[in-house]
Structure 1
């Protein structure tokens, strides 16, 4: 996928909880499994694809699969889970699938019982994937109204800004606005001081860091669209760079054009 295709996916992504009564095709499941393998290998995470996810949910309808978003018990792993999990979401959305990040409305204990996860690892969320129904269900409409009473603009996320933001950064933040966030809370706070752009959350050792990882990916995509290639370093500062690329797709497919590194550094 190109950077432009990722932006197209961001624009059309909506959380879907009502799916058609048919499972994903085997071809699609194989591609998703390949993406999961690539993420686990490149980011040292423990994502797991589950073919039939319906036993773990009550308010979701239809047939759907899911990716268990899991990894080491650390702040970095939480951020990486958001970054890389969102990369898979956007690829699925671009190719016409319905998705939903889920952190509370599923039976987490039942998932732990169903998978072989090392005791020092944790599940941070799951992502449902399926063929979404053509129209939104009453449950979907109700949940949207409950969680989107007041959307937080990117200006509300800026804690400090001592000069006008570069166009690439303001556009990147406009895509952060459109990213999924638990109960639409958007907990990330950004700072732009002395030409340095950074971000943080108040409780980094919590699932807020998953939201931060998602925001990081959206920002990178937006900045690239305006000509600024960059990556987030270990201190959560955005560093413009020249020619490094992340590969999210299966190795035999077309390379992505999302900036970053294939190494474990952190969408």
Structure 2
């Protein structure tokens, strides 16, 4: 992308109402090229993504989207095979695709749920050993958002984000990390804070230590079994994408590893995910 990923993260918002038109030819070609090779995810899971036409003409509601997407013809659809950290990898690459679409000035909206028996599974030729956790409409926005958009935004509190002391810590979970103390990493952490998440639960927690930044998932106990796919693990991949891309934009080099710091007194329902190991 030839634009700032930090600007894209700050610009992106969910859009559920579209014009009903197909993607412009140039934008469609660029989107298809990106999805054909979105890069290698941190844990190297087997994924594939396609841009599919839902076959809906005009500003109609799209079947298979729970009645909330209107006027979208094109969708980003991705699948992943089973494996360790496969959903984190899926979220990481899917968010890259959404940010790429944002760079093309297209509207998008994360959608996760039960999608195996929808038109999207048929369009991407879903295999028995693949999981289809999410889809995303992508297209020209309608002139204004609908009542459905407003209801979803209000219900999820989409513009509300947890404060730094609730999300970021130094050495352990008892010592909140300030933006001043985070120094040059304050921007990547802020980009994590702004990341989208299922029902805006914001399940990520990050501990800063001498060895790097340790990413944890703090689960909402009522959320894990709502859908077949563990959407909060996908949220962690989104956080990893925001952190890495914005860190690299700032010239802060590192890599994702699995180096569990074995933090004592970990909060309830909190589990280790990955570590951003700083290149020193």
Alignment partners' CA distance in 2, 1:206 and 1:154: 25
Q: Any idea what the Cα deviations from partners look like across 1:67-112, whole Å, max 9, x if unmatched? A: 11210123422111111111111111122100111013x7542133
* SS state at 1:125 partner: strand
Are the equivalent residues in 2 in contact too, given 1:67–1:127 (CA < 8 A)? yes
Alpha-carbon RMSD across the aligned residues, in angstroms, is 2.6
- Is 2:96 the counterpart of 1:101? no
Higher relative contact order (CA 8 A, sep 6+): 1
Residue 233 of structure 1: which of 257, 260, 277 is its match?
A: 257
* SS state at 1:197 partner: strand
Alignment partners' CA distance in 2, 1:21 and 1:113: 22
- Within a 5 Å distance, the mapping from 1:83-102 to structure 2 comes to 83-102=92-111
Name the structure 1 match of 2:201.
Answer: 185
Report the CA distance shift for 1:75/1:181 in structure 2 as closer, same or farther (over 3 A): farther
- Is 2:238 the counterpart of 1:214? yes
Report the CA distance shift for 1:158/1:206 in structure 2 as closer, same or farther (over 3 A): same
Q: Any idea what the Cα deviations from partners look like across 1:96-155, whole Å, max 9, x if unmatched? A: 100111013x75421334432221110121121010123222111111010017522343
Alignment partners' CA distance in 1, 2:52 and 2:198: 22
Q: Any idea what the Cα deviations from partners look like across 1:215-244, whole Å, max 9, x if unmatched? A: 1111123323443122212441112238xx
Residue 70 of structure 1: which of 56, 79, 82 is its match?
A: 79
Give the TM-score normalised by the residue count of structure 1: 0.79
Rg larger for: 2
- Within a 5 Å distance, the mapping from 1:149-160 to structure 2 comes to 150-158=160-168, 160=172
Q: Any idea what the Cα deviations from partners look like across 1:135-192, whole Å, max 9, x if unmatched? A: 2221111110100175223431235366764323222111112111110011112112
Structure 2 unaligned residues grouped into runs of 5+? 56-61, 260-273
* Residue-pair matches, total: 240
* SS state at 1:119 partner: coil
Deviation at 1:14, TM superposition (A): 0.4
* SS state at 2:238 partner: helix
Alignment partners' CA distance in 1, 2:196 and 2:133: 15
Report the CA distance shift for 1:234/1:48 in structure 2 as closer, same or farther (over 3 A): farther
Alignment partners' CA distance in 2, 1:21 and 1:188: 35
Alignment partners' CA distance in 2, 1:230 and 1:74: 24
Give the TM-score normalised by the residue count of structure 2: 0.76
Structure 1 unaligned residues grouped into runs of 5+? 243-267
Moved more, 133-142 or 6-15: 133-142
Are the equivalent residues in 2 in contact too, given 1:192–1:198 (CA < 8 A)? yes
Are the equivalent residues in 1 in contact too, given 2:17–2:149 (CA < 8 A)? yes
* SS state at 2:151 partner: helix
Alignment partners' CA distance in 2, 1:41 and 1:34: 15
Name the structure 1 match of 2:17.
Answer: 18
Moved over 6 A (4+): none
Larger relative helix fraction: 1
